[in-house]
Structure 1
Amino acid sequence: MPPKPKADNAAYKQLKKDIDQGSIGRLYVFCGEEAYLRDFYLGRIKKKLLPPGMEEFNLHTLSGKEFELKKLEQMVDCLPMMSERTLIVVSDYDIYKGDKEGLAALFADLPEYVCLVFVYDLIEYKADARTKLAGALKAHGSVVAFNRQEQGDLVDWVKRRFKADGHDIDSEEARYLIFLCGDLMNGLISEIGKISAYAKHHRVTREDIDAVATPQLDAVVFQMTDAIALKDFNRAALVLGDLFHMQEAPIKLLSVLGRQLRQLYAARLALEARKGTGYLMELWGMRSAYPAEKLMQSARRFSLAWCRRAVIRCGEIDLAMKSTGADGEELLTQLLLELAGPGAA
């Protein structure tokens, strides 16, 4: 698996600088996975450009379903009222599927009082660099990708969110929370709120996190393989029962388990070759060292032969699910019994 290319955050950093310095541009495309950051900075632009109480006159919105170039042109022509600028927000419209030449001309002639933002939320932004429109966007605007944050930045943000709720959390527990619940801020905010409401002491503990946080599927599957490594079959069976109660399709559960076992096999091979977590992170495109460290710790409890056999059996169970019509939950239970059998550790 080739390593994921490092995200280009230059436009994101420039946007923050422009907002802080009051030099907000005339044209932006907001895209990327991190919806929390996208909404946060769109909110900052609104506060900077729109005087309180004048939003109704100076904020214009248009959805992709109702988009027409003529409507957008009319919004652009609307002069600001008791404000220096107007803000136009267009949501979920693919600019490369409409009148590209008309949009390119509009981009090149935007008045200085206009700030036009195309927001991609429900649809993905896919640029076509061959078009005149792409050149006009590059010349007159900026594509800001709100990517998942690096772990160090995300840990600091988690700590600040807990502090705002009257709690402290150390870095290791913050990393555990991110591993358990995912690294998207919108999801973490709700989990932080639940944990803050539940925690009885100033410092948040792992017990507080485990008591109320809702783990993502990958983390639950890891808990099952971790229990197998510790020879705790009862715990592994309980985790599998929890997975069934999630009402996810057995084939999806098997897919996640298969990926986990392949990563575990890769970690065991890395240990055999005396390679560290950095190699595993590069191999699987991991942004954070935490899951790689946990995989390496877990891999030390398994033999290379067990890891290889587990990956093979997972593939055979996958084939059985897709070709025999056998009950998926029974096949998963059978696989767990084999994994937890003699030679597991």
Structure 2
Amino acid sequence: MAFKKKTDDSAYRDLKKDITAGSIGNLYILHGEEVYLREYYLGKMKEALLTGGLDDFNFHTLGAKDFSIHKLRELVDAMPMMSERTLVVVSDYDIYKGDKEAMADLLSDLPDYVCLVFVYDVIEYKADNRAKLAKIVKEKGRVVDFARQDQGDLTDWIARRFRALGHDISTDDARYLIFLCGDLMTGLISEIGKIGSYAKEKRVTRRDIDAVATPQLDAVVFQLTDAIAAGDFDKAFSVLGDLLHMQEAPIKLLSILGRQIRQLYTARLAIENGKGAKWLMELWSLRSAYPAEKLVQSARKFSLEWCRRAVLRCEEIDLAMKSTGADAEELLTGLLLELAAKKAS
């Protein structure tokens, strides 16, 4: 399995240049997972375009529920008042699902003064490349995918956010924060705020992160397997108890645990065959080296036979949960007891 294909970020970089150079165009489609970045740059566009102080007259919004080509044309044709430009933002309307011919005609002849932005938030943007409309969008505008950022850019951004709060953070601890809380800025920004308020010293530590950050479920399950690897079975069962107390469905927990065990198995195979974290990144399409390195580090504490057996038992318990009337929590707890016992022996 190859690395995930890197998202083409040329339109994203071009948008930043447009804003910086004061050369914002007439048509943009903004979509993608990274909501924080999308909203940030939409805000920058608004600041750059609406300079006359009459936002109510020059800034127009239209939602999918109220959308019609007629309404959109009225907003597009509205002349700016005491400003050179107007900004029209259309939210969650799929331009390829409506009257594509009418939309193509409108987009092909936008007035110079307007900037029309289609924002895809709840719905996914999917271009219909067979349609004439797709060609016009490509010729007249920019389709900007706000994708998840790579680890290098994300750690730099985390460091800048902490500096704004009067703190420093090491690159390694920034990578740990990403591992613990996920790699979306939208989620990380609130965690950074909590940690920045909690930390007493200038340098944020891992202890500060662990004290107040809310970990994603995958990271918690990793803590569970790490506790088994360290022989800390009290902690392992404490983590499982917390997850069940949070009313996480046992079948969901088993699914994540099973994936974690399979990753550990492949990490153990990598060690046996002289391969490293890069091979794991390729195999599991991981976006950064940090989780792959953690897997290798953890796998060194398990035997190959334990990993094989653990993978099989996860599959067997999954089948039992789905096909028998046995209590799912008891099955999951029993599996953890068995894995811990095998590791201890």
TM-score range, shorter chain: over 0.9
Aligned: 1:20 with 2:20: yes
Q: Deviations over 1:88-127 (max 9, x none)?
A: 1001111111011111111110111111111011111111
RMSD over equivalenced CA pairs, Å = 1.1
Q: CA deviation at 1:198?
A: 0.8
Aligned: 1:246 with 2:246: yes
Q: Deviations over 1:236-265 (max 9, x none)?
A: 001101111221211111111111111111
Residue matched to 1:237: 237
Q: Provide the secondary structure at the position in 1 that maps to 2:332.
A: helix
Aligned: 1:329 with 2:321: no
Q: Deviations over 1:168-189 (max 9, x none)?
A: 1111111111100011111111
Aligned: 1:80 with 2:70: no
CA distance in 2, matches of 1:266, 1:131: 44
CA distance in 2, matches of 1:22, 1:133: 27
Q: CA deviation at 1:52?
A: 5.6
CA distance in 2, matches of 1:139, 1:32: 21
CA distance in 1, matches of 2:324, 2:119: 45
The one-letter code sitting in structure 1 at the alignment partner of 2:217 is L
Superposition map of 1:253-268 within 5 A: 253-268=253-268
CA distance in 2, matches of 1:130, 1:245: 51
Contact 2:265–2:307, Cα closer than 8 Å, also in 1 = yes
Superposition map of 1:57-68 within 5 A: 57-68=57-68
The one-letter code sitting in structure 2 at the alignment partner of 1:95 is I
Residue matched to 2:137: 137
Q: Provide the secondary structure at the position in 1 that maps to 2:53.
A: coil
Q: Deviations over 1:33-78 (max 9, x none)?
A: 0000000000000000002631110011011111111100110110
5+ long unaligned stretches in structure 2: none
Superposition map of 1:37-186 within 5 A: 37-51=37-51, 53-186=53-186
The one-letter code sitting in structure 2 at the alignment partner of 1:297 is Q
The one-letter code sitting in structure 2 at the alignment partner of 1:152 is G
Residue matched to 1:206: 206
How many aligned positions are there? 345
Aligned: 1:274 with 2:274: yes
5+ long unaligned stretches in structure 1: none
The one-letter code sitting in structure 2 at the alignment partner of 1:318 is D
Of 37-46 and 234-243, the range deviating more from structure 2: 234-243
Q: CA deviation at 1:325?
A: 2.5
Contact 1:27–1:116, Cα closer than 8 Å, also in 2 = yes
TM-score of the pair, normalised by structure 2: 0.98
Q: CA deviation at 1:303?
A: 1.1
Runs in 1 of length 4+ with deviation above 4 angstroms? none
TM-score of the pair, normalised by structure 1: 0.98
Contact 2:181–2:213, Cα closer than 8 Å, also in 1 = yes
